[in-house]
Amino acid sequence: MPLNIELFSEIGLLVVLAALISFLTRLLRQPLIIGYIATGLLVGPFFLNLIRSHDTFQLFSEIGISFLLFIVGLSLTPYVIKEFGKVSLIAGFGQVIITSFVGYFICLAMGFSILTSLYISMALAFSSTIIILKLISDKGDLEKLYAKISIGFLLVQDLIAIFLLFIIPLVSVGKDSLAKIGFLSLRGALAILIIFLISFFFLPKLNRFLSSSQELLFIFSIAWGIGLAALFKNIGFSLESGALIAGVALSALPSRHEISARLIPLRDFFIILFFIFLGSQMVVGNIQSLLIPGLILSALVLIGNPLILMIIMGILGYRKKTSFQTGLTVAQISEFSLILIVLGIKFNHLRPEILSLVTLVGLITISGSTYFILYSEKIFNIISRYLGVFERKKIFEKEKRKKDYEFILFGYNRIGFDFLETFKKMEKEFLVIDYNPQTIEQLDQIGANNEYGDASDICFLESLNFQKIKMAISTIPALETNILILERIKHQNPVTIAMMVAHNIRDAMILYDKGADYVILPHFLGGKYASLLVKNLHFDTERFKKLRQRHISHLYLRESLGQNHPTIKKYY
């Protein structure tokens, strides 16, 4: 007989085990979610059987999901949605639709019912924004093109998943009558209307008072989120949908970032208990019967999802490397996938063993995709010769490349914009190289000589003629790419002035060792420029006002071109 452990001791023991297993997980460079689920599997009924307070842990897991979705809602401001862009919308919707379609028929072929196949196929279509953001951030790739596109379409996926949270309760009532669907929809719409009227007219006035006390703001946020989650549960929707609406209702408040920052540790604790509880619910006795379907569905996610996205990216005109790296970000399922399955079980749409199946797929795909993303450069170098099929060869092909340019600029966005303006004022011939199709279209519109290409592709670099180039400037932040450019330039024309960009001193020194004539470190250069302003303008308020106005106009211009200053985006 297992020991009768008190609740406090039970939680303490689980957290200690989770910490130990998470330590091992971290050593293997895996996301901690793997460690949490493994902990649940270990303490579940088929191994140590330590979880005695099942109802309490189920409650804790629901609180964790509520906090997770509440914080997601806080991040869904109109400004975030505006940043998606055409590419993110097409890629996000396209991949979800195609994966769901393919997954649905695979599930039917394996003998699952129509409703079960729908749930599983939708769960396979969503990828984890939280895991991908962490991995991309750890690699230092947040400012790369593939990362920006990935973050955009992953948020589009999240919006689709959120929409499903509201649809599932309606489908559940739909078995009885259309009248109930209409009545439930009316109640939901009325509740949402009242909540947003309160958030629009009342909460902004209350915000200053709440913000005067950190403790008051904290307890109000918890009460608002949990209270609305409970309200939606009582009117026939799910806790998850109520928590999400609660977050969206507060997303326009100036204090939303502070609310999010204070709730994240609380969310993390309860979400850990959610994943532990999830792991403990896996039906290990049926693991043999689930293994083959789990491997087939994992193959769809690990291989099929990246291929689907690479095809979409290729059609949109992106180079094979960008398409490949973007595709790898959808090679795992999301926490939303697990939440959808849990919701399906709550409404008696699914059998409990389906949760075991999808959790197994989650363990396999999250583990596999982590290594895919961390070693994407090496994997690409091995298989790049086979990926040409995913490129539209002639989409941005120029009729004739001039051979007498004095300047060549790699990368137009942000820093490159100022260089291009300088080239125009100098009335010198120049060529801009960029691998973003949208940027190439912008350059065509303003009549700037350009070439569509990826500077990290050695074959493309070898096609460029540096013989008459007097100065080459790279604003690309990737060290390996800048080294390739430098080696090619100095091999063809040693006297060409090479100017590179680096984001840390170590990379700058490596570039100098490789022959760079000058390395730009944007933050240091920005500080130097600001200090010169102080030196030249002194305390002249009028000149500062004129400078301020010019700078604001310049920022509006950059924003109109779709450019933004680099920042680490924390949506969750």
Full residue range of the structural domain in which residue 138 is found: 54-386
How far, in Å, are 218, 254, 416 from residue 77 at the CA level?
Answer: 20, 11, 30
In a domain, 545, yes or no: yes
In a domain, 49, yes or no: no
In a domain, 459, yes or no: yes
pLDDT digits (tens, 9 = 90+) for 165-220: 777 777 665 555 566 666 767 777 788 788 888 878 888 878 778 777 788 888 88
> 452 φ, ψ to 5°?
-85, 120
Examine the pLDDT at 107 and tell me if it is beyond 90.
yes
First to last CA, the chain: 42
Average pLDDT over residues 10-14: 82
**Residue 572, pLDDT score:** 41
Q: Are residues 128 and 193 in the same domain?
A: yes
pLDDT digits (tens, 9 = 90+) for 512-527: 998 889 988 887 887 7
**Residue 174, pLDDT score:** 54
pLDDT band at 121 (very low <50, low <70, confident <90, very high): very high
Q: Are residues 182 and 273 in the same domain?
A: yes
Buried b / exposed e along 254-268 (16+ C-beta atoms within 10 A): ebbebbbebbbebbe
In a domain, 392, yes or no: no
Domain final position from 355, 386, 417: 386
Q: Are residues 316 and 237 in the same domain?
A: yes
Q: Counting every residue, how long is the chain? A: 572
**Residue 97, pLDDT score:** 93
CA distance 57 to 41: 14
Q: Are residues 272 and 168 in the same domain?
A: yes
CA distance 274 to 350: 19
Q: What is the 3-state secondary structure (H, E, C) of 10-36?
A: HHHHHHHHHHHHHHHHHHCCCCHHHHH
Classify the phi-psi angles of 562: left when phi > 0, otherwise alpha if psi is within -120 to 50, otherwise beta.
Answer: left
Nearest 10 degrees: Cα torsion 113, 236, 243, 204: 150
- CATH code of the domain in which 351 resides: 1.20.1530.20
Q: Are residues 478 and 348 in the same domain?
A: no
In a domain, 7, yes or no: no
Q: Are residues 416 and 518 in the same domain?
A: yes
**Residue 303, pLDDT score:** 93
Number of structural domains (the chain) is 2
Domain final position from 386, 419, 435: 386
The kind and range of the H/E element at 517 are none
Asked whether the beta carbons of 272 and 351 are under 8 A apart, the reply is no
Name the more confident of 346 and 170. Answer: 346
CA distance 479 to 507: 7
pLDDT digits (tens, 9 = 90+) for 75-84: 766 555 555 5
In a domain, 5, yes or no: no
* Beta-bridge partners for 408: 431, 472
Q: Are residues 432 and 337 in the same domain?
A: no
Classify the phi-psi angles of 450: left when phi > 0, otherwise alpha if psi is within -120 to 50, otherwise beta.
Answer: beta
Asked whether the beta carbons of 56 and 274 are under 8 A apart, the reply is no
Q: What is the pTM of this model?
A: 0.69
Share of the chain above pLDDT 70, in %: 88
**AA letter at 93:** F
Q: Are residues 234 and 373 in the same domain?
A: yes
**Residue 399, pLDDT score:** 44
Q: Are residues 356 and 281 in the same domain?
A: yes
Asked whether the beta carbons of 483 and 501 are under 8 A apart, the reply is no
Question: Which strands make up the sheet holding 450-452, listed edge to edge?
Answer: 450-452, 430-434, 407-410, 471-474, 497-501, 518-520
Q: Are residues 352 and 484 in the same domain?
A: no
In a domain, 418, yes or no: yes
Query: At CA 341, angle to CA 339 and CA 345, rounded to 5?
Result: 115
In a domain, 432, yes or no: yes
Name the more confident of 236 and 164. Answer: 164
- CATH code of the domain in which 551 resides: 3.40.50.720
Examine the pLDDT at 571 and tell me if it is beyond 70.
no
CA distance 78 to 193: 18
Examine the pLDDT at 456 and tell me if it is beyond 80.
no
Q: Are residues 365 and 416 in the same domain?
A: no
* Beta-bridge partners for 519: 500
Q: Are residues 476 and 513 in the same domain?
A: yes
pLDDT digits (tens, 9 = 90+) for 395-417: 544 444 555 788 888 988 767 77
